[in-house]
Structure formats: structure tokens, C-alpha cells
Amino acid sequence: MNTIAFFNNKSGVGKTSLVYHLAYMYAELGLKVIAADLDPQANLTSMFLDDERLEEVWPDGEHPQSILGALLPLIEGTGPIAQPHVECISDSLGLLIGDLALSSFEDDLSENWPHCLGAKPRAFRIEAALFRIIQLAAVARKADLVLIDLGPNLGAINRAALIAAHYVAIPLAPDLYSLQGLRNLGPTLRRWRSEWKDRLTRSPRDDLELPAGEMEPIGYITMQHAIRSDRPTRAYGWWMNRIPGEYRVSVLASKPDVFTDQPQDDPNCLAMLKHYPSLMSMAMEAHKPIFALKPADGAIGAHVYAAQQCLEDFNKLAVSIAERCEIDLPRSTVSRLF
């Protein structure tokens, strides 16, 4: 089972939309997939589930079917983590339901991170809790792949989620904020990896199931949002062309090439995705990916062509990520009619 986290500490770069669409795409390509909503904003969950179902899984009081419900026994000290509920979206796709109250787990993670240096068993169980939930969910669903959606910050929840990930893909927008995000993100990933490797050497028990903390960066994905009237095309291209060098320096800790590549020529660029604002609103209302929209959902005329283009773009992206992560796909293409 492979685990890929989609992460940037800059918000508004399309992390949740990427996880949502790739989860459906990989299911169509023949994998058993789990989409894990580890962002306390729980936007991924609201994309998958309608309001009626959300009211059922987020009632007043406890939320036993959410990610927090699985954590509660450990948090309250009444036992190990509970078997997580995996919402069945289709035979090949499941959802680990997010929870706005997941942010309450942040303090436990922050408090126990230094306690791992003192070889405290409970500290290791706390830090590995998200890893264990993902692991249990994957076993229950016989999943080949887990895609993790994370919030836009460098907090303890994201640290615990990232040490549970084999790979990290970084969504970006062509602006100064994304470049600054890379400058923060790259050194932080390296530091967290190093600190967790150090903690693993201090684990007090051999029977503790702990993540390896690999979190290997596999590349970035640029989201080509519509160019606003107050942001000239020249500025858009300027920021796009600075991404390859900044990624190499900040994330890979290597020297930039003498001549900075354009993203389309950069081997670290997984994809340059188009922005489909009108289709995205349709997809949100229909609770299906853009490339699955039908005329009954409002996708008519030019929207049909755009949905097909989206299908092809995400097919290529899914195959590219699979190659980087050495994931065997039962099918490498999907039909033109999803």
C-alpha cells in the first residue's frame, strides 16, 4: 500500500480538489483507493458527501464515524485507537471522514513530540496514531493507495500525517505566496524527517507499529487559475518560471540550474492543470468529479469538451504520479465517457 500526501502550507492552491479528482481517477484506473481527510476544515469530506449524510456523520456530540472518533479512545486514555470507519463511495473508493474537531488533537501531538525523545511509549502511540488509522483503514478496504488531504499550515497534525506518508506532492499557484510557501515547506519537511528518524532510534518497544517517516517529495503540480485583470500575463509567466528553481533549492536542497527551466520542461513538474471555475461549481453540487459530469448535471455545449479535457489531464497526472511512486496500474487509460 502506498500513501501520498498533498501538501502546501499556502492555502488556495487546489490540494483538496486534486485529492478528490485523483481518488476517482485512480479508482477508474483499477486501484482500490482511500481518500483520507486529515484537514480539520474537512472540505474533502464535504465534496464527497451531501448535506444529509454530513448531518448523520457529524451529529451533535461524538462523531464515531469520523477520523476523530477513531482517535478518541487513545486521546481519553481508555484504550488504543478504534477501528476507523471508512465511508464507501464506490466498490473501489473509500473515504476517511474528516472532522472539524480534529484540531483538538493538535495539543496532544505538540505535547508528545518532545516526549518521544524520552522514550515514552504513549508519546510514540500518539505521534503514530494517524499512521495507524490509515493502516487499519487500508487493511479493512484492501486498499492499494491512500491519498491524504492536509490543511495549509506547518502544525503538529500535518507533521503526524506527513511522517505517515511515503510520498509528498506539492500543489502550487503561480504567485509569490506559493514561492514563499516552498521556502518554508522544504526545510520543514527535511527537519521533520530528520527529527522523526532520530525518535525512531529511541522507541522503547519493538512491538510499536511506527511510520518510517519517508515523505519523499515527488514533484509539484501547478494550478493555472484564470488570469485576473489586475494581474498581467507577464507577471503570471514571471512567477511560473521561478517555480522550478525554487523547488530545486527549497524542497530538494540542490543548486538551481544556470538557466531556470520553464515548468513544462521541468522534470519535477507533475502537471500544469487548467482551471475550470464553472465546471467546479457544477461538480460540487453534483458531488462528482468534473470529468464525470453529464448533461443532466448541466454540462452541455462547451462544457462537454472541457470535461473531456479534464479527464485527459487527470489521467495523465495519475499515470505520472504512479510512475514516480512505482505504483502498478491495472489500467493506464480511461474511456472517453467516464
pLDDT over 70 at 225, yes or no: no
Length of the chain: 338
Percent of the chain with pLDDT over 70: 93
pLDDT at 187: 95
Give 271's strand partners.
221
pLDDT over 50 at 227, yes or no: no
pLDDT at 258: 55
Tell me the pLDDT of the chain averaged across its residues: 90
pLDDT at 229: 43
pLDDT at 230: 47
SS3 252: coil
> Cell 480539520 appears where?
40
335 belongs to a structural domain:
no
67 belongs to a structural domain:
yes
pLDDT over 80 at 335, yes or no: no
329 belongs to a structural domain:
no
What is the pLDDT averaged over residues 222-238? 60
110 belongs to a structural domain:
yes
42 belongs to a structural domain:
yes
The one-letter amino acid code at 22 reads L
Alpha-carbon span 114 to 94, nearest angstrom: 34
- Which residues lie below 8 Å from residue 61, measured CB to CB, with a gap of 6+? none
State pLDDT tens for residues 5-20.
Answer: 999 887 777 899 999 9
45 belongs to a structural domain:
yes
Residue 222: give the domain boundaries: 2-324
| Out of 23-32, 69-78, 328-337, least confident range | 328-337
What is the pLDDT averaged over residues 96-109? 96
pLDDT at 274: 83
State pLDDT tens for residues 156-168.
Answer: 999 999 999 999 9
pLDDT at 11: 75
List the grid coordinates of 168.
Answer: 509528498
State the sign of the Cα–Cα–Cα–Cα dihedral 9, 148, 20, 253. positive
Alpha-carbon span 338 to 335, nearest angstrom: 6
333 belongs to a structural domain:
no
Number of domains within the chain: 1
73 belongs to a structural domain:
yes
What is the pLDDT averaged over residues 248-259? 80
C-beta of residue 311 within 8 angstroms of C-beta of residue 291:
yes
- For residue 157, count other CB atoms closer than 10 A to its CB: 21
> Cell 487493511 appears where?
139
CA-based max dimension of the chain = 63
Alpha-carbon span 154 to 175, nearest angstrom: 20
pLDDT at 60: 84
> CA angle at residue 242 from 241 to 245, to 5 degrees?
115
Q: Tell me which DSSP letter residue 142 carries.
A: T
Looking at residue 120, which CATH number applies to its domain? 3.40.50.300
pLDDT over 70 at 277, yes or no: yes
pLDDT over 70 at 337, yes or no: no
What is the pLDDT averaged over residues 128-149? 97
Alpha-carbon span 41 to 315, nearest angstrom: 28
State pLDDT tens for residues 157-196.
Answer: 999 999 999 999 999 988 888 888 899 999 999 999 999 9
What is the pLDDT averaged over residues 238-250? 89
What is the pLDDT averaged over residues 201-209? 91
pLDDT over 90 at 23, yes or no: yes
List the grid coordinates of 290.
Answer: 468534473
